[in-house]
A and B are shown apart, each in its own frame.
Chain A
Amino acid sequence: MRYGVSAAASVQVLPGERQRIRWSQAWPILLRPTGDDRVHLVQGAGGPLGGDELSLTLDVGAGARLDLRSAAATVVQPGADGGCARWSVTAAVAGCLHWAPEPSIVTDGAELDSRLRIDVARGGSAVVVETAVLGRHGQRGGRYRGELVATWAGRPLLTHVTQLDGADPVLSGPGGSAGARAVGSVLVVGRAGGSGAGELPGVRWAWSPLAGPGAVLLAVGDPGAVSAVLHEQLVGLTNAAVPAATR
């Protein structure tokens, strides 16, 4: 048993003929460079647990590129004293950021407060993936609050808070997730996103352009089906990786 930990890690990518990645890690957030522009995030302990406060700061300079991934799904468990696990990512992007972590799974009785703030400068671009899953197989899941704030060139592009709670009949009802266990999103800023919408067994999804240079894909449904939609749409984005003309 351990009590809540506070940890802050950071990654900075400096452009150059051969770009340099500087990072500082703080247990249990471990960072492993796995390529010239790729870093993997590794959770060094089971969790996070309720009471943990973890944060990650990203700085991608103009002309630089960072492809950030996680090694495994994040499984949020209740802490020794209950309470909420807090996870916050703050990104300043003048270059190109691709942040595609594995899903966050909020187990029964656990609570996750996730905050992602991304400020993209004119000329920069970002693709950010988030997936929240309520519970492991057979569980209804704990509580999730996900705040996503994105700005482009200093202007608000998306400000959105999603609340999920597998034990709350209102939030898991038709005005919330309608019984779905997973919500996934792909936020695209400063370049062209995808388009279209669809309904497949186990998942409903749609792209929407934002009121500015960007788009968001939302998918709601079973964990496997949501992951499949996100994967397919991300492949589509990568294949069409021609930077959009931005205002």
Chain B
Amino acid sequence: MRDVIIIGAGGGGPIVAKELAAQGLDVLMLEAGARNKTPETNWKHFENDANNPLSGYLRFGPSDRSKPSWYREVTQPAMISNLSGVGGTTQHYFGNSPRAMPGVFKGYQGDDAQDYDRDFEFPFSYEELTPYYEWVEATLPVQTAAMGTSEQVFFNGCENIGMSVQVTKDTFQDGYRAQQNAVLQPSGNAGRTTNKSDLTYPLAKGCTFCGHCTQGCYEPLNAPRNLKARRSTDNSYVPMALTADLWAVQGKAVTLVADAYVTQIHTQQINGKTTATGVSWRDVNTGEIMTENAKVVVMAGGCIENPRLWLNSGLPNSHDWVGRGLTDHAFDFVCGIFPFNTDSSKGVGSSARADFPGKGCIEPSSLGPAGLASNLMMSDSGIRGMYDNGRGVFGEWDGPSGRLIGNEFKNFMSDVNKTMGMLIITDDDVEANNRVEPSSLMSDEHGAVPKMTIHKRTRSQRTLDNREFLANKAASILRAAGASEVLRIDIVPLLLHLQSSMRMGDDPQNSVINANGEAHEVAGLFVADNSALSNALGGPNPTLTTQALATRTSEKIMVQYFSGTPWVNSNEPMSSIDDAITQAVLARGL
């Protein structure tokens, strides 16, 4: 019997794994997708090879790439962009690590308090989470992003429309700034040359500005796994978890099993309460079913898989809130074309941002041509000039919103380094009818597939207004930065930032887990990924907050079930790039 079983090795699970392994617990972490042990040989800087949503090595599907990806039912057109595999969706994230807006937490007293979704706030204060932010920021580590050409263009635009620069991690007013990124910043030759031989570790350290965040980070070449530039969990927390016995006093290494799709959470009635006792999983390659028991089970399979697993397992759902309240940041994409170089295919995916408390965020995003083309095609407004699908919105951009096609598309793409895409990250409301539930129509070898409903056009008025505000603001920044043409795509739901489908709250009637991260209705069952978030955070990218919350939940587990004591306020965090970790990683051959 294990102390803890963690379901999912994505953005949240490895945080709990590392924290509890460092405390000496016996932890088993299960991951449905692949474990990429040797990214330098298995991964490439090719967009289709990596990012094809059907067949790429970074997809939501089994590790065997000859097999189809895993199906998810959607009730309206949407683009699903989260990943399976050790590291989860952090394998292709940009490392953007802003803190949440303080206004989404309980007890917020700012003048703009009513600008937020007050019905679904976090059940504790921002100040209570702050030490956990600091702990994670030191562990990853999170650093202020360096500037390249595209960031300079973005900053020029923000300056020209009179925005204020933000010089703090906490966000209380509109402002623009360099991202706080979970990316090791360049040193040595990194960022200063294109010569491959000069870009190997230790000649180059940190980000080499290769421009391939979305294909998975394995730069600089020859660097130990924990010193790869981008701090996806496969490069940061997972190596720490797998070596906890080597660097933590009384630490115990985590057991990690990949290709293990959990299909059942087992419970028993103990002391009159439904209590989690273990899990069963299916070996994705052999079909073999395995079962293990544990004192505590932690769900960290993501906003889509957690509700599916919960409901397929027949766990209680008295208030019908499991899977409900899904937020997706109601993304949009605004893109400009410039008469000068923006070098937008170079550098980190995003190293700059603008925040608008109560409304959301904007960030420039660097992509290769296939990725950019894909974004330009995701419109809900039909084809510009041909049909508008009942939308075709006008604003600060040129002409109606919509996708480009034919020669207009080809001309727009004629120099990818003279474009700049802006991601609109909306502060969207928690709404009960946005949800994940098991499909009544389809199942696969892992049970009924998840069915997702995200209403794009009929979101709350606040959500819709925020999205319009941000799209117009992004177009203004692009114009002020010198764009000669600005287009709004008006994309269909892009299921990339997903939050709150197993939301944390005080009231069991509109939440699944309590303020400790434990299920209201199942003892010993915790949730520790984006789905645990109470809301959409006000718009900031969710990973850092998920990781801070998962750290807090780890303490709660340790105190409540293993007679431990909290450590975040009393100990110094060990950085994942500390030499002790590097030596442990090398010793273990990771």
**Are these two chains actual partners, yes or no?**
no
Residues of B within 8 A of A (CB): none
Residues of A within 8 A of B (CB): none
